[in-house]
């Protein structure tokens, strides 16, 4: 067993114990939980909300959908995250803006066309915090998948002294998750229109961040 696999299994055991104590409040503005939606979506949320979104996925992701693939870094930390999300039933694609970016994008395009939902932290893996690059908009533009911003807030939590201020919900706290309206991205955009879509998505996510 690799070190990354061992750390992921230990982490998953701790998280499952923590998740059993949490309370979840959901607001689904997109309707994806109620009507199911036949179209694949790109779920995006800030990197420091990973634990809150993973908890919500484990609790309420519709089982009739095709599943979620998470974009993770090709680094060792990304390998631990990939192994960790696998424990919670998610698959992963390895890549970032600096390594394997083009190959990862092609893999994600194929998965979306196969009906998979995709989860992306647009400011990961190294920031800057709350900064959204063009990749997620380009992915939606290339595939026709709608982008769904997801927000998580915590009644009580611990904020790590990391670049993203990583958030760990405290035991017996409440996690409030809002699934925002789906954003369609047209296939044909001018450079100015593309930047407007990118900035709008970034602002939506920033507005809900603490």
pLDDT in tens, 129-181: 999 999 999 999 999 999 999 999 999 999 999 999 999 999 999 999 999 99
Q: How many domains does the chain have?
A: 1
Per-residue b or e along 48-68, where b marks 16 or more CB atoms closer than 10 Å to that residue's CB:
bbbbbbbbbbbeebeeebeeb
Which residue range is the domain that position 159 belongs to?
3-208
> How far apart, in whole angstroms, are the C-alpha atoms of residue 175 and residue 204?
19
For residue 99, what pLDDT is reported? 64
Strands 68-72 and 117-120 turn out to be parallel
For residue 36, what pLDDT is reported? 57
Q: Which residues of the chain have pLDDT under 50?
A: none
CATH number at residue 41: 3.40.1130.10
For residue 3, what pLDDT is reported? 82
For residue 37, what pLDDT is reported? 61
For residue 7, what pLDDT is reported? 86
For residue 150, what pLDDT is reported? 98
């Amino acid at each position: 067993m690799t070190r990354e696999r061992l750390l992921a299994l230990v982490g998953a055991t701790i998280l499952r114990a923590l998740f059993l104590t949490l309370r979840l409040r959901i607001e689904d503005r997109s309707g994806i939980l109620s009507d199911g939606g036949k179209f694949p979506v790109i779920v995006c949320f800030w990197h420091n909300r990973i634990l809150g979104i993973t908890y919500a996925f484990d609790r309420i992701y519709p089982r009739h959908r095709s599943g979620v693939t998470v974009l993770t870094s090709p680094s060792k930390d990304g390998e631990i995250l990939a192994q960790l999300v696998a424990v919670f039933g998610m698959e992963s694609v390895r890549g970032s803006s600096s390594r394997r970016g083009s190959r990862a994008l092609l893999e994600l395009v194929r998965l979306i066309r196969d009906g998979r939902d995709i989860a992306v932290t647009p400011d990961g893996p190294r920031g800057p915090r709350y900064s959204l690059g063009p990749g997620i908009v380009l992915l939606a533009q290339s595939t026709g998948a709608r982008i769904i911003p997801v927000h998580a807030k915590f009644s009580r939590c611990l904020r790590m002294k990391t670049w993203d201020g990583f958030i760990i919900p405290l035991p017996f706290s409440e996690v409030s998750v809002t699934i925002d309206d789906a954003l369609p991205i047209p296939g044909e955009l001018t450079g100015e229109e593309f930047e407007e879509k990118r900035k709008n998505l970034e602002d939506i996510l920033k507005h809900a961040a603490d």
